[in-house]
């Protein structure tokens, strides 16, 4: 499937034998995190979303490079969906700091835990410079 | 001997036996040992068609790797290590790698055997399957009935199955019939993060999603009557097969330690062919921390399958008869790293999507099975069949005492859904008399038999290669999907 919002941003979810790969592109790294957030959100069934967006939350996401930060953020989402029953849907800000990013996100409550994704992996994870922005790829274990 | 190229064209292998291919250690400058692949010509083509061989060769470059790295007949591409991969690293100077175990630590299979004849089950099959689906949480989002405190989690981590004997959910005989007595002694609860605890706190006794299942089976075919008798497998006997692992707790342990080891390696300027191969020396503080957490997760997984066993016994007593016997034949892991001695050397054997298969002479084979070997279970897809095998002493030399773990997917979930809708899959299974309970038609379509490789073929190669001996085939009567 292919989707996107904003000029130059978009994503696709590619189905492999036993996992999914998220392919994301965006003008900059904060926008890339936003797009990856939307791509992950598509995996959460509509039937378990409560619907309304609630108060923003802040997260410090660490990683030795941008690929590791992206994987770490997606793993944060795995945890939030499974334990807090909270799905981040929109990133209000993503401020790059030394060794990571401070993310401020709004989200929605889930009716029950979402455990459809075991983890985001570092297998083939990459964030690369492309004309007019960045492209990234992350594989999710299901 | 025939020299072959993989489908991707870059790997040269030699067919050294009918069911064994070898990539020599000098095939690539950084390999330390050869890579050996158990397959016939057809399975070789499948294995060589993705990145499994490249991944296996990557594993052969890691420090302390010994003798050879192996791919089982059901091998396919994974993250870092291939699924269906076996590798042993010296504990003195070798590594341990979370990616070599996988996310679902101690995912495994256990077989329960009843004293009922399938021909007598009749109309009781449907309520039996229905009650199993109600009593064993499955699918996305459903946790178990237990909510564990940190102290209770620590007991699960350290004591493993013995903790459930104290709580009345296991018997002493259950522990004797579980790999490692349902407890790895190296567990260190301090190495399990709060996040992992949070994910595991309410999931003990639950199946999870994906290819996990609880199936009601009947013993359909006997290939080795003597071994079948030793295991108590008579034709037509009703059995229950359980496939699940350490749930979110194990996933988080893997996530935590892959990230830690990746960070340490990047900061040290060490580059690996795949970041998911991140590892640490086994004897180092980082290696021991992961080992302690992995053992805790493995013990949690054995407890998970044991709590499900307890639920199966409750349901059988309620639906069938309070007197019905539900005996544990064996429980074996297929995603784990264990310290073992091979050829006089202590090694950490990584089995990722591979089952331990010790023969009759091995001291860890349970006493009840010393005449035949340790039971090995190889589940097929929903609606096909599953196999019971026993380990062979020769497998210690052939594969560090390992066999395969399943049929392996051949289609993506999306492709499976597009090929045949869930409603059609359900109708086909129902027409064959198989009772199915699955959270949704979507999941039913994703786990349909056509989405998996032919388990008969995979098991045949395991048998012919001498990794394990075929004993019996189980046919499904009822399926509860995760």
In this complex, do B258 and A18 lie within 8 Å of one another by their Cβ atoms?
Answer: no
Residues of B in contact with A123 (CB under 8 A): 78-80, 99, 274-276
Among A79, A119, A125, select the one facing B275 at the smallest CB separation.
A125
pLDDT at B449: 86
Q: pLDDT-based confidence at A1, cuts 50/70/90?
A: very low
pLDDT at B141: 55
Per-residue pLDDT tens digits for B119-157: 999 999 999 999 999 999 886 555 667 889 999 999 999
Residues of A in contact with B262 (CB under 8 A): 64, 68, 122
Active site residues of B: 405
Q: Which residue of A has its CA nearest to B409?
A: A17
| The pLDDT of residue B1 is above 60 | no
Q: pLDDT-based confidence at B8, cuts 50/70/90?
A: low
Mutation pick from B249, B262, B411 vs chain A, by most beta carbons of A within 10 Å, is: B262
A-contacting residues of B 120-179, CB under 8 Å?
140-143
| The pLDDT of residue B452 is above 90 | no
Task: Report, as an integer, the average pLDDT of A14-20.
Answer: 82
Which token pair is B366? 């349970």
Q: pLDDT-based confidence at B68, cuts 50/70/90?
A: very high
| The pLDDT of residue B94 is above 60 | yes
Q: Which residue of A has its CA nearest to B76?
A: A17
B376 versus B268: the higher-pLDDT residue is B376
* Residue B42: Cβ within 10 Å count: 13
In this complex, do A68 and B83 lie within 8 Å of one another by their Cβ atoms?
Answer: no
Quote the percentage of chain B above a pLDDT of 90.
Answer: 83
B4 versus B209: the higher-pLDDT residue is B209
Which token pair is B384? 């096909």
pLDDT at B271: 86
Among B140, B199, B274, select the one facing A123 at the smallest CB separation.
B274
> How would you write chain A as a 3-class SS string?
CEECCCCCCEEEEEECCCEEEEEEEECCHHHHHHHHHHHHHCCCCHHHEEEEECCCEEEEEECCCHHHHHHHHHHHHHHHHHHHCEEEEEEEEEEEECCEEEEEEEEEEECCCCCCCCEECCCCCEEEEECCEEEEEEEEEC
Task: Report, as an integer, the average pLDDT of B23-45.
Answer: 96
DSSP assignments along B254-320, one per residue: HHHHHHHHHHHHHHTT---SSGGG--EETTSHHHHHHHHHHHHHHHHHHHHHHHHHHHHHHHHHHHT
Task: Report, as an integer, the average pLDDT of A89-96.
Answer: 94
CB contact B450 to A (< 8 Å)? no
Q: pLDDT-based confidence at A54, cuts 50/70/90?
A: confident
In this complex, do A116 and B198 lie within 8 Å of one another by their Cβ atoms?
Answer: no
In this complex, do A79 and B410 lie within 8 Å of one another by their Cβ atoms?
Answer: no
Residues of B in contact with A124 (CB under 8 A): 274
**Angle, vertex CA B205, rays to CA B238 and CA B480, nearest 5:** 45
In this complex, do A18 and B76 lie within 8 Å of one another by their Cβ atoms?
Answer: yes
Q: How far apart are the first and last CA of chain A?
A: 17
Residues of A in contact with B244 (CB under 8 A): none
Mutation pick from A77, A81, A138, A141 vs chain B, by most beta carbons of B within 10 Å, is: A141
Contact B73, B42 (CB under 8 A): no
Residues of A in contact with B210 (CB under 8 A): 142
Q: Which residue of A has its CA nearest to B417?
A: A15
- Could you tell me which residues are beta bridge partners of residue B469? B390
B168: which residues sit within 8 A by CB, 6+ positions away?
Answer: none
In this complex, do A18 and B103 lie within 8 Å of one another by their Cβ atoms?
Answer: no
In this complex, do A114 and B141 lie within 8 Å of one another by their Cβ atoms?
Answer: yes
Task: Report, as an integer, the average pLDDT of A38-47.
Answer: 94
| Burial of B152 per CB tally in 10 Å (0-12, 13-18, 19+) | middle
Residues found in chain B: 482
* Cα B23 versus chain centre, distance: 26
In this complex, do B266 and A65 lie within 8 Å of one another by their Cβ atoms?
Answer: yes
**From the CA of B195, how many Å to the nearest CA of chain A?**
8
pLDDT at B116: 97
B40: which residues sit within 8 A by CB, 6+ positions away?
Answer: B18, B19, B73, B461, B464
* Distance separating alpha carbons of residues B398 and A10, to the nearest angstrom: 49
ipTM of this predicted structure: 0.91
CA distances, A40 to each of A13, A69, A73 (Å): 9, 15, 11
Mutation pick from B259, B261, B268 vs chain A, by most beta carbons of A within 10 Å, is: B259
Q: pLDDT-based confidence at B45, cuts 50/70/90?
A: very high
Least confident of A96-100, B67-71, B419-423: A96-100
Q: pLDDT-based confidence at B409, cuts 50/70/90?
A: confident
CB contact B212 to A (< 8 Å)? no
Residues of B in contact with A142 (CB under 8 A): 209-210, 413
Task: Report, as an integer, the average pLDDT of B212-227.
Answer: 96
Among A63, A83, A123, select the one facing B276 at the smallest CB separation.
A123
Among B258, B263, B274, select the one facing A64 at the smallest CB separation.
B263
CB contact B407 to A (< 8 Å)? no
B361-371 in b/e form (b: 16+ CB < 10 A) is ebeebeebbee
| The pLDDT of residue B366 is above 50 | yes
Q: Which residue of A has its CA nearest to B253?
A: A119
Mutation pick from A115, A117, A120, A127 vs chain B, by most beta carbons of B within 10 Å, is: A115
Per-residue pLDDT tens digits for B436-446: 998 788 888 98
Per-residue pLDDT tens digits for B252-309: 999 999 999 999 998 888 888 899 999 999 999 999 999 999 999 999 999 999 999 9
B397: which residues sit within 8 A by CB, 6+ positions away?
Answer: none
CB contact B269 to A (< 8 Å)? no
* Residue B460: Cβ within 10 Å count: 17
Mean pLDDT of chain B: 94
């Amino acid at each position: 499937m292919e989707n996107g919002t904003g000029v130059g941003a978009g994503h696709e979810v590619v189905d492999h034998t036993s996992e999914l790969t998220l392919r994301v592109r965006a003008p900059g790294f904060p926008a890339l995190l936003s797009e990856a957030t939307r791509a992950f959100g598509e995996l959460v069934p509509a039937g378990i979303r409560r619907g309304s967006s609630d108060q923003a939350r802040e997260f410090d996401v660490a990683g030795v490079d941008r690929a590791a930060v992206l994987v770490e953020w997606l793993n944060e989402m795995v945890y939030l969906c499974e334990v807090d029953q909270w799905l981040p849907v929109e990133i209000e800000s993503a401020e790059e700091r030394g060794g990571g990013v401070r993310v401020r996100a709004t989200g929605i409550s889930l009716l029950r835990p979402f455990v459809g994704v075991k983890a985001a992996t570092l297998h083939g994870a990459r964030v690369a410079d492309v004309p007019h922005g960045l492209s990234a790829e992350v594989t999710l274990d299901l | 001997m025939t020299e072959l190229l993989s489908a991707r064209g870059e790997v040269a292998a030699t067919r050294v036996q009918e069911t064994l291919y070898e990539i020599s250690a000098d095939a690539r400058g950084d390999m330390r040992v050869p890579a050996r692949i158990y397959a016939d010509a057809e399975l070789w083509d499948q294995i060589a068609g993705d990145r499994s061989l490249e991944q296996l060769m990557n594993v052969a470059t890691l420090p302390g790797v010994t003798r050879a790295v192996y791919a089982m007949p059901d091998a396919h591409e994974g993250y870092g290590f291939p699924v269906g991969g076996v590798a042993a690293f010296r504990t003195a100077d070798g590594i341990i790698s979370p990616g070599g175990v996988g996310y679902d630590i101690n995912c495994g299979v256990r077989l329960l055997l009843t004293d009922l004849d399938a021909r007598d089950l009749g109309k009781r099959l449907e309520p039996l399957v229905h009650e199993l689906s109600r009593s064993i949480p499955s699918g996305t989002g459903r946790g178990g009935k237990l909510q564990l405190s940190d102290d209770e989690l620590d007991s699960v981590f350290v004591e493993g199955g013995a903790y459930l004997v104290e709580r009345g959910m296991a018997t002493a005989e259950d522990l004797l019939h579980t790999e490692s007595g349902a407890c790895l002694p190296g567990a260190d609860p301090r190495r399990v993060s709060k996040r992992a605890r949070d994910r595991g706190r309410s999931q003990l006794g639950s199946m999870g999603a994906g290819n996990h299942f609880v199936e009601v089976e009947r013993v359909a075919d006997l290939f080795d009557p003597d071994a079948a008798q030793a295991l108590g497998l008579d034709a037509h006997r009703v059995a229950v097969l359980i496939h699940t692992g350490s749930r979110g707790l194990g996933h988080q342990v893997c996530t935590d330690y892959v990230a830690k080891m990746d960070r340490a390696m990047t900061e040290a300027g060490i580059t690996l062919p795949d970041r998911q191969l991140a590892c640490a020396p086994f004897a180092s503080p980082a290696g021991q921390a992961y080992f302690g957490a992995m053992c805790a997760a493995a013990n949690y997984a054995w407890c998970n399958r044991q709590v499900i066993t307890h639920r199966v016994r409750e349901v059988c007593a309620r639906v069938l008869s309070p007197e019905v016997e539900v005996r544990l034949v064996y429980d074996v892991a297929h995603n784990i790293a264990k310290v073992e001695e091979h050829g006089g050397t202590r090694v950490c054997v990584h089995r990722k999507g591979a089952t331990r298969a010790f023969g009759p002479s091995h001291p860890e084979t349970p006493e009840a099975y010393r005449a035949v070997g340790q039971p090995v279970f190889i589940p097929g897809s929903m609606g096909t069949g599953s196999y019971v095998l026993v380990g062979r002493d020769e497998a210690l030399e052939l594969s560090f005492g390992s066999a395969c773990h399943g049929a392996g997917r051949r289609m993506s979930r999306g492709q499976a859904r597009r090929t045949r809708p869930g409603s059609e899959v359900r109708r086909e299974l129902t027409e064959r008399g198989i009772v199915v309970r699955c959270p949704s038609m979507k999941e039913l379509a994703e786990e349909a038999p056509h989405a998996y490789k032919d388990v008969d073929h995979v098991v045949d190669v395991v048998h012919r290669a001498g990794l394990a001996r075929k004993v019996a085939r189980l046919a499904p009567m009822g399926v509860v999907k995760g």
